Structure formats: C-alpha cells, structure tokens
Amino acid sequence: MFEREGAVYDSRRPIAPHQHLRPTTERAWVKVLLISIALIYMLAIVVLPLIQVFFEAFRKGFDTYFASFEDRGAQTAIQLTLTVAAIAVPLNLVFGVAASWAVAKFEFWGKSFLITLIDLPFSVSPVVSGMVYVLLFGAQSALGPWLKANDIEIIFAVPGIVLATVFVTFPFIARELIPLMQAQGNTDEEAAISLGASGWQTFWRVTLPNIKWGLLYGVLLCNARAMGEFGAVSVVSGHIRGQTTTMPLEIEILYNEYNFTGAFAVASLLAMLALLTLVFKSLLEWRYGDELAGTRRH
C-alpha cells in the first residue's frame, strides 16, 4: 500500500489500462513555460545564427557562392581540414579503445591519474595546448636545432596541426567508452576466454560488438571537433595561407579581409559538414533505436 496525492493504491492490485500515475505534479503552465524557455534559447543561440550563416553565404546568389570555392586558399583549407580529421580521428580511435579497455577492465596503480590525463584537454584552453607544442618543437625549443638540422618541420606545418588536433580531440572517444565498458563488466569476456577464445577473438567477437554504438558516437563527436578546431590549430599553424590554414582559419582570414561572402561560404560548408554528422547520427538512432537506447542507458 502507498499514498500519492491523497489517494491510496494497493501495490498488489494491477493498475487498470486507463489509469496512469503522473510522473510530475507541475501545473500545465509550468511545463509550457519551461518548454518555451528551452525553445527560445535554442532558437536564439543555435538556430538563428546558423540560418544567418547560410543567408549571408547565398545572399549574392549561387554563382558568387560557388565562385568563392575557386580560390586556391579555400580549396587548400578544405583539403587540409579533411586530411587532418582523417588522421586525427583514427589515431584517437585506437587510443580511445585502448585507454577505455585499460580503465574499465583492469585495476592498476595510476589508474586515477590516467583518467585525469584523459580529461585534461577538457579543462585546458586549446590556445594553451597549442603553445605547449610551440615550446616543445618550436625554433627556440630544446629540440628546435635538431629538428632544423634534420629538416623536420612540425610547428607551422601539417604535423603540428595534426598533433594539436589530436590533443584537443582525444578525450571524446575514450570518455564515451569508459562508462559503457565499466557498466558492461567483464562477464562476457570471461565467458569467451573460458570457452577457449584468444584475446583478439574476444575483442573482435565480444567486446567490439558490445561497444560499437558508443564507439560510433565517440567517432562522430571527435570528427566534428577535429574539423572545427580553431584555437590550438591557430597557434601552431602560423596562418600560412595555402599551406597551413584549415577551414576555421580560412574563415577568419577572409573575414578580416572584408570578404564576407567568401568567409560565410566557407563557414556554410563547415556548418553543412556538422549538419551531415548530425543527420547521420539521427538516421542511426532511427534505424537502430532499440540498440542505441540500450547503449545510452549504460
């Protein structure tokens, strides 16, 4: 027996199909107010700026819009952005799976410290992380003379951009997988090993299928951040147009040159890549809704 809002219910008696217990007791106007605040906030902060980007990009017509991408600097920026993402995401995928496996499946000295290091890019400014690489590999660093003598370029070159992007984005996959793998425990892996499966067979046939949706979410988030990173890349790139400028940096350069159409054209392309990521995520949720819901509950 239990009481709710002045009524007494018998827990032994099933509730009739037409009877429903209200999960909350707020009045209707309170729910409407909260929903309205959320919608207005999202419209003002997210939707309207996004619409304005596309409006400014196409304001002078489609011909002017597509002509903006004929510029060599814009083409190089697009190519470099996709290249850096294509390198950084697989590297972080390997690290994320390895780190999450170590944290979730094993007990070892320094485990808390490893988790803290994984979270470090969330608390450190991207500009600071870029400066760290300049101090490590710049011309005035301890390694600078050796790098110059061996004709190795890291700062103000593509390797530096890749390193900065990897640093900023490496927590996303690991942080998506760690709680999921901890919730799943070791039961399935132990059962597979007891049946004679090797370590690799256990990973490919047991662990990986169990974490595939969390892994996919982490990859999507990592890829979106890699393409949109500005602060760390700005420090290590040197803003060499046509060589080390990614799409976010190209947008800044075009905007500072008062080439607003070109700036918003590149910005719209970057926004479209982010929207495609969101659409892909939504399609997966629609197609595999039950499996995704089970994964997210962990």
Tens digits of residue pLDDT in 163-179:
999 999 989 999 888 88
Element spanning 231, H or E = helix 231-237
Whether residue 205 lies inside any domain: the answer is yes
Kindly report, residue by residue over 190-222, the tens digit of the pLDDT: 888 888 888 788 888 888 888 888 888 889 889
> Which residues face 2 on adjacent strands?
9
Whether residue 296 lies inside any domain: the answer is no
Is residue 73 predicted with pLDDT exceeding 70? yes
> 140 with 30, same domain?
no
Pick left, alpha or beta for residue 146 (phi over 0 → left; psi -120 to 50 → alpha; otherwise beta): alpha
Kindly report, residue by residue over 116-155, the tens digit of the pLDDT: 888 888 888 899 988 999 999 988 888 888 888 888 888 9
Is residue 249 predicted with pLDDT exceeding 60? yes
Residue with tokens 């103000």: 156
> Which residues face 4 on adjacent strands?
7
Element spanning 244, H or E = none
Confidence of residue 298 (pLDDT cuts 50, 70, 90): very low
Q: How many domains does the chain have?
A: 2
Q: For the chain, give the longest Cα–Cα distance.
A: 84
pLDDT of residue 287: 65
pLDDT of residue 90: 94
Is residue 2 predicted with pLDDT exceeding 50? no
Q: Which domain holds residue 22?
A: 1-57
Element spanning 4, H or E = strand 2-4
> 19 with 31, same domain?
yes
pLDDT of residue 288: 58
Is residue 268 predicted with pLDDT exceeding 90? yes
Q: What is the mean pLDDT of residues 6-35?
A: 63
Most confident of 21-25, 83-87, 176-180, 184-188: 83-87
Sign, CA dihedral 75-80-86-89, equals negative
> 53 with 100, same domain?
no
> 232 with 249, same domain?
yes
Confidence of residue 264 (pLDDT cuts 50, 70, 90): very high
SS3 22: coil
Is residue 274 predicted with pLDDT exceeding 50? yes
> 125 with 173, same domain?
yes
* CA distance readout (Å), 25 to 17, 22, 29, 32, 242: 21, 7, 12, 14, 60
Residue type, 255: Y
> 169 with 215, same domain?
yes
- Domain end residue (candidates: 14, 39, 57): 57
- Cα–Cα distance, 26 to 7 (Å, whole number): 17
> 39 with 177, same domain?
no
> 133 with 10, same domain?
no
Is residue 86 predicted with pLDDT exceeding 90? yes
Query: What distance lies between CA 172 and its chain's CA centroid?
Result: 6
Whether residue 298 lies inside any domain: the answer is no
> 20 with 116, same domain?
no
Residue with tokens 């597979």: 192
